[in-house]
Structure 1
């Protein structure tokens, strides 16, 4: 065990040296990465690699459908801009009685799956998994860094979902991670991750995987390869993260279905691709009255719009509105909030 750790340390040191001198040493980077991956794979073995938990584990099984309402759920209120509600100190918005909506930035959290399509039903589920705190931290921090492009944040999230070691980060994605995460959070990117798996190990793993997981496993490994090399474009990464075509429709969970949030309000999602989602939040008057002035917060960074169709993408939500119009005034006064 000690010998393996020493070898790994030497390989990582060599990789750091090669990375700094990449222009001079060219293809050595790939050789070092392949050597490190080969050693890691021998240590873990195929079965242990396949048992490694996903970075984010949220699935439709985590959706609580109790209290949900069909799209024709009658609401008399007219929708007002959600982003005009009072801001909460720790992020999000202080809810008032009524119907609110906004189109916000959203992010794919499931590489190797189909993009949302018209008619897909999405419901609320919490962010779950070994990297849930990191993902939430990125979404919160991004709101304070409008200078960082949404594409760069999406690449970082795909990199994390693909379980890439921070030591393997290269190029813009590394700078994005450093800008959005604390040093302590960066160290957490080293736990529960995989290296770039060589072809022979990938073949063995693919033989043991069910068909519905093969594309995801292959996409994650390809993302790890691209990030490690530092030589890729957004379009190239998107090609592996987003499958071409449309997932088969699931008709029992229609588009526009309302989820009863654990905090007592209703929420529903209308994705447009994976990069933006129109969110509606309905807050019954009875809920506000029952709280006796206590604040109830909508913080989208804790939420995933989860597809009923398991072949489609989970969508991380944000508190960042797209094209907001702050000249509009709320018609509802948020009275009685302490």
Structure 2
């Protein structure tokens, strides 16, 4: 088989220089030596090139839409992004030939890219951005061919010439795969259908008059997809957390076009007072100081000691405006302490609020209920954060002091609510952007705490970073719908 590959590729590169030929010989000397280890890559099985499924999805959540509804996303010109909130429309690609395409309103969730041809397809998606002259239909045809087990040498020669910049010599060698002889009568019906789809794609790809429209008719089913086996419900607008420190959601317009929203929180220096309360946030020349009314009033709630904290005002200062202090209306919150918060979040026990208020005149039942309901609401977010944490292997770098960040996130959100009241309306003439920057800083720290909860390194800088979108797949909840590959090519 290796000799045959060498012969085919030498024919393909007959017009190359002698140096290129020597490179090709060197490549196949390496292939011969590593033939045993490469045997898996040099063979083909239906559905194995890309095998991502629902089990590979990252933890997802919807509540982030509410947290960001007051902010307007920026457009982006590059994917080397500083912290911020961005939205763009990208080229996306079908990675599940023979299934139904998405439509507006389809729910998708990010998943890890899995499959025997993972590295090859990711590389093609990355390089396609650097070669805008190569059409999206040609890139899609190449990907479908990899899924279907089509040999590179079987494509029409003009197509080979157009897509060659997306491939290395080794990539081309690995595309000269051996389609296994599979007795279709022994296959489950869904695999037989997949085999038929791949066979039809190969036949069309090997035609001298290869037509993308015909390929699309074979690979993309139209209409409302029936619910597939093992499907789950994924509603539109579901967010995921990427390992690169970004939050992301994908909303497809079609299989070839997807809206992508990205959010990366800014790092802010946060200071604490002697009672371990958040006392100030500082970022990029802006500072917000939380002014508490007193040292807090300790109250006994059953087995727990809590503190009633009252925020009196906020002092905001930064470039371009004089320092000002804004009263905090309704800035009261109950700091239950981590024992209570952990028991409430983990459902370790039931709480009788009436009994907890017995002989306690510092709080009303309504105040306690509101505070307890806030913690219960936060429980859903805590569960999401735990799932985010569990998405990654923490054994080598276990996160430290997660309780601190659980508490920080809870208290920070309480401060955020008080700021919404005290800085509303924030569109005062000449101050709008200045006040928005302070509010944004508090909001960013809430999500930065989530990053710490996940156990990420959360580097204390705001340097540009790439989210590496091609490393992930947008996975639908319906197993009869198409999963999508993401490029960084803006439409």
Question: How much has 1:318 moved relative to structure 2?
Answer: 1.1
Question: How much has 1:104 moved relative to structure 2?
Answer: 0.5
Q: 1:233 to 1:210 in 2, by over 3 A?
A: same
Question: How much has 1:103 moved relative to structure 2?
Answer: 0.3
Question: How much has 1:52 moved relative to structure 2?
Answer: 5.7
Unaligned runs of 5+ in 2: 13-42, 266-443, 453-457
Q: Alignment length, in residue pairs?
A: 266
- Cα deviations by residue, 1:196-226 (Å, 9 ceiling, x for unpaired): x7xxx6xx41x33334333322111111112
Q: Which residue of 110, 121, 126 maps to 1:140?
A: 126
2:347 maps to which residue? Answer: none
Q: 1:260 to 1:165 in 2, by over 3 A?
A: same
Q: Answer whether contact 1:104 1:317 (CA < 8 A) is retained.
A: yes
Question: How much has 1:77 moved relative to structure 2?
Answer: 1.8
Q: Which residue of 293, 314, 321 maps to 2:483?
A: 314
Which one has the largest radius of gyration?
2
2:179 maps to which residue? Answer: 194
2:81 maps to which residue? Answer: 94
Q: Which has the higher contact order (CA 8 A, sep 6+)?
A: 1
Q: Which residue of 226, 245, 263 maps to 2:204?
A: 226
Q: Which residue of 50, 55, 59 maps to 1:61?
A: 55
Question: How much has 1:71 moved relative to structure 2?
Answer: 7.2
Q: 1:70 to 1:171 in 2, by over 3 A?
A: farther
Over 6 Å off, 4+ runs: none
1:109 maps to which residue? Answer: 95
Q: Answer whether contact 2:47 2:147 (CA < 8 A) is retained.
A: no
Question: How much has 1:251 moved relative to structure 2?
Answer: 6.8
C-alpha separation between the residues in 2 aligned to 1:189 and 1:314?
22
C-alpha separation between the residues in 1 aligned to 2:170 and 2:192?
33
C-alpha separation between the residues in 2 aligned to 1:317 and 1:134?
14
CA RMSD of aligned residues (A): 3.0
C-alpha separation between the residues in 1 aligned to 2:100 and 2:63?
24
| DSSP-derived class of the 2:209 partner | coil
C-alpha separation between the residues in 2 aligned to 1:222 and 1:137?
26
Question: How much has 1:72 moved relative to structure 2?
Answer: 4.6
Counterparts of 1:292-311 in structure 2 under 5 Å? 292-293=460-461, 295-311=464-480
Q: Answer whether contact 1:68 1:259 (CA < 8 A) is retained.
A: yes
Q: Which residue of 192, 196, 214 maps to 1:214?
A: 192
So what's the TM-score if we normalise by structure 2?
0.49
- Cα deviations by residue, 1:233-283 (Å, 9 ceiling, x for unpaired): 111111111123221366731011111223333211111111110001122
| DSSP-derived class of the 2:88 partner | strand
- Cα deviations by residue, 1:82-121 (Å, 9 ceiling, x for unpaired): x23xx4xxxx42241x321100111111110100034421
C-alpha separation between the residues in 1 aligned to 2:205 and 2:120?
18
C-alpha separation between the residues in 2 aligned to 1:108 and 1:148?
17
Q: 1:71 to 1:162 in 2, by over 3 A?
A: farther
1:178 maps to which residue? Answer: 164
Question: How much has 1:134 moved relative to structure 2?
Answer: 1.1
C-alpha separation between the residues in 1 aligned to 2:212 and 2:201?
11
C-alpha separation between the residues in 2 aligned to 1:232 and 1:115?
22
Q: Answer whether contact 1:165 1:189 (CA < 8 A) is retained.
A: yes
C-alpha separation between the residues in 2 aligned to 1:51 and 1:194?
7
| DSSP-derived class of the 1:157 partner | helix
Q: Answer whether contact 1:120 1:308 (CA < 8 A) is retained.
A: no
- Cα deviations by residue, 1:39-78 (Å, 9 ceiling, x for unpaired): xxxxxxxxxx99566211111211022x533575431321
So what's the TM-score if we normalise by structure 1?
0.70
C-alpha separation between the residues in 2 aligned to 1:310 and 1:56?
14
| DSSP-derived class of the 1:297 partner | coil
C-alpha separation between the residues in 2 aligned to 1:229 and 1:273?
27
Q: Answer whether contact 1:68 1:260 (CA < 8 A) is retained.
A: no
1:276 maps to which residue? Answer: 257
Question: How much has 1:189 moved relative to structure 2?
Answer: 1.4
Q: Which has the higher strand share?
A: 2
Q: 1:299 to 1:9 in 2, by over 3 A?
A: closer
2:395 maps to which residue? Answer: none
C-alpha separation between the residues in 2 aligned to 1:217 and 1:113?
13
Q: Identify which range, 243-252 or 227-236, moves more after superposition.
A: 243-252
